[in-house]
Amino acid sequence: MTFLAFLLAALPTLGTQFKQLPAGKGKAQVEAACYACHSADLLAQQRLTAKQWTATVEKMMKWGAAVQPADKQVVIDYLAKHFGPANKFTPTATKPVGK
Amino acid sequence: MDRRSFLRLCALAGLAPSAVLAASHAQPRMLQMNGYPINAETPLELLTDYLTPAELFFVRSHWLPRMPDPKTWKLTVDGDVAKPLTLTLADLKKLPRAEATCVLQCSGNGRALHNPTLPGVQWRYGAVGNARWSGVRVRTILEAANVKPSAKHLHLFSSDDPPGKVPPFRRSIELEKALADAIVAFEMNGAPLPPQHGAPLRLVVPGWAGDHWMKWLVRISAQPQPQTGFYMDTAYRWPNNVGAPGVAFKPEEMHPVTELFVKSNITTAPASAHVGTPVDIRGFAFSGVPDIAKVELSDDDGATWRAATLDPRHDPYAWRLWSYRWTPKRTGSAMLFVRATDIKGNSQPREAIWNQSGYLYNAWHSATIEVKA
């Protein structure tokens, strides 16, 4: 369902570019748990402390993100390592939405 | 998304992957803040028109939207009304037509500029635009439904449905504001409202932040109390007494974000200039009150200010385009600041007020120009 909904939402634009997350321990767990509802950009643009990432991952788990309890810390560590307060994010230039 | 899931998605959609990829190379003009659901902002340098074209207008999605089928779509009007209504698009188009040309800004526009940094879509400048919205006044509809005096709030419902256990996006606005100037719009800039902007019908709340402008509207309900739920009680709130940067408040110490703050941005400035040769600086300014009184620029770090020329085009709560002819006096790196003041005397602050969700950023904007001899 999620994937189908994704298609319906992405099709009108077709300008969407799919970003990759950086390699590292925890990447697979993040992809498995987070891509159901949003793509990598939303993670890769954040600049959060480990404390803020913990709160965000817990919020997402409450909202339905399938993070295995054993993976929770790995997921937080990966996000805090790559997308900490000093992270730089440049949005992808795409074509006009709906064109 | 990895290659394999991308290919699987293409197969599901019956699309050749090459078609998707090829299409994505045309005219790179929007800034993608998220692939799915779509969040995209407009580069500031393209926000130079009085009316922002729909295809350049920022797009904000909380999740993958469930859009209604315009053919079977209806608007339900219920709650504290003597005569509940169900209106088709054809019914709405028979009612007296109303129009508003005004700014739509995401309450989180500029979140990325707040310090300390905050979670959320990292909008910088371009989650804002000015458009002509046409439809029917909410007042017209509520009068037709014989709204009762007990009603004080208008609850807003869309066809949209969140994934997993994410709370639904439900909002309400004070009935007083809804009756004053809100409209339900089925057109944007004279064309049918595009799907990503809420087709077939969205709410337009002049002067108020985008979270009130419910897209894919299916039901409005007149109620004595405000709407409850995550997107009223936890999100989109502003501290009653603002604290120092980094200080978070409990939801009960905050109230809903409503009116936009006075703000101006520079859209056009040259990267370099020559001493004694004038250059044109342009931009836009708007506020949560109906008009801007003045826009000023400073080239001496805010010590002195000179007035920009305001464009005569204006509608209540629309932005004012402005221009300023600046003549560099000395060589080196010059920083030009802009600040706007609205007709109620609210003036843009040098620093924006930090708040835990990063709403309503409106610090002075600047452009840096290298001045050569």
Tell me the mean pLDDT in the region B230-238. 94
**Is residue B297 predicted with pLDDT exceeding 80?**
yes
Instruction: Identify the pLDDT of residue B302.
Output: 97
- Cβ atoms of B193 and B185 within 8 Å: the answer is yes
Residue A13 has its nearest CB partner, among B38, B54, B67, at B38
Task: Give residue limits of the domains in chain A.
Answer: 22-86
Please, what is the average pLDDT of chain B?
Answer: 92
For residue B20, pLDDT beyond 80: no
d(CA B237, CA B229): 13
In terms of CATH architecture, what is A22-86?
Orthogonal Bundle (1.10)
Residue B7 has pLDDT above 50, yes or no: no
Least confident interval from B22-36, B93-107, B250-264, B331-345: B22-36
Portions of chain B given CATH number 2.60.40.650? 263-372
What are the chain B neighbours of A4 within 8 Å (beta carbons)? 12
Mean pLDDT within B103-127: 97
Closest chain A residue to the Cα of B117, Cα to Cα: A47
**pLDDT band at residue B243, thresholds of 50, 70 and 90?**
confident
CB contact (8 A) between residue A93 and residue B164: no
Q: Which of helix, strand or coil describes residue A97? A: coil
pLDDT over threshold 80, residue A11: no
In chain A, what residues touch B37 (CB-CB under 8 Å)?
9, 38
* Alpha-carbon distance A65 to nearest alpha carbon in chain B (angstroms): 8
Listed by number, the residues of chain B in 49-68 with a beta carbon closer than 8 Å to a beta carbon of chain A are 54-57, 59, 61, 63-67
Task: Say whether A63 and B27 touch across the interface (CB within 8 A).
Answer: no
**Quick one: average pLDDT of B172-186?**
98
Q: How far is B188 from chain A (nearest CA, A)?
A: 14
Q: What percent of chain A has pLDDT over 70?
A: 80
For residues A27-39, average pLDDT = 95
* Cβ–Cβ below 8 Å for B194 and A98: yes
Given a cut of 90, whether residue A97 has pLDDT beyond it is no
Q: Could you say which of A52, A94, A98 has the minimum Cβ distance to residue B24?
A: A94
- pLDDT per position as a tens digit, A77-95: 999 999 999 999 988 887 7
ipTM: 0.88
The dihedral through the CA atoms of B80, B84, B89, B94 has a sign that is negative
One-letter-per-residue 3-state SS of chain B: CCHHHHHHHHHHHCCCHHHHHHHCCCCCCEEEEECCCCEEECCHHHCCCCCCCHHHCCECCCCCCCCCCCCCCCEEEEECECCCEEECHHHHHHCCCEEEEEEEECCCCCHHHCCCCCCCCCCCCCCEEEEEEEEEEHHHHHHHCCECCCCCEEEEEECCCCCCCCCCCCEEEEHHHHHHHCEEEEEECCEECCHHHCCCCEEECCCECHHHCCCCEEEEEEECCCCCCHHHHCCCEEECCCCCCCCCCCHHHEEECCECCCEEEEEECCCEEECCCCEEEEEEEECCCCCEEEEEEECCCCCCCEECEECCCCCCCCCEEEEEEECCCCCEEEEEEEEEEECCCCECCCCCCCCCCCCCCCCCEEEEEEEEC
Share of chain B above pLDDT 70, in %: 92
- pLDDT band at residue B71 under the 50/70/90 scheme: confident
| Banded pLDDT at A14 (limits 50, 70, 90) | very low
pLDDT band, very low/low/confident/very high, at B23 (cuts 50, 70, 90):
very low
**Contact criterion met (CB < 8 Å) for B55 and A97:** yes
Contact B121 A42 (CB under 8 A): yes
User: Where along chain B do the CATH 3.90.420.10 domains lie?
Assistant: 50-256
CATH placement of domain B50-256: 3.90.420.10
The 10s digit of each residue's pLDDT in B216-225 is: 999 999 999 9
Can you tell me the mean pLDDT for B47-61? 96
pLDDT at B257 over 60: yes
Q: Find the mean pLDDT for residues B262-288.
A: 98
B23: chain A residues, CB-CB within 8 Å = 14-15, 95
- What residues in A contact B63, CB-CB < 8 Å? 37-38
Amino acid A96: pLDDT: 66
From chain B, the residues in CB contact with A14 under 8 A are 20, 23-24
Give the pLDDT band (50/70/90) at residue B3. very low
CA atoms of A57 and A60, how far apart (whole Å): 5
Pick B263-372's CATH classification: 3.20.20.60, 2.40.30.20, 2.60.40.650, 3.40.50.150: 2.60.40.650
Give the chain A residue nearest B18 (alpha carbons).
A14
A10-14, B121-125, B308-312, B326-330, range with the lowest pLDDT: A10-14
Quick check: B1 pLDDT over 50? no
- What is the predicted pLDDT for the residue at B29? 86
Listed residue (B163, B112, B6, B23) closest to A20, CA to CA: B6
- pLDDT score, position B70: 80
Interface A–B counts its CB contacts (< 8 A) at 156
Whole-angstrom Cα distance, residue B155 to residue B32? Answer: 31
Residue A49 has pLDDT above 90, yes or no: yes
* B164 inside 8 A of chain A by CB: yes
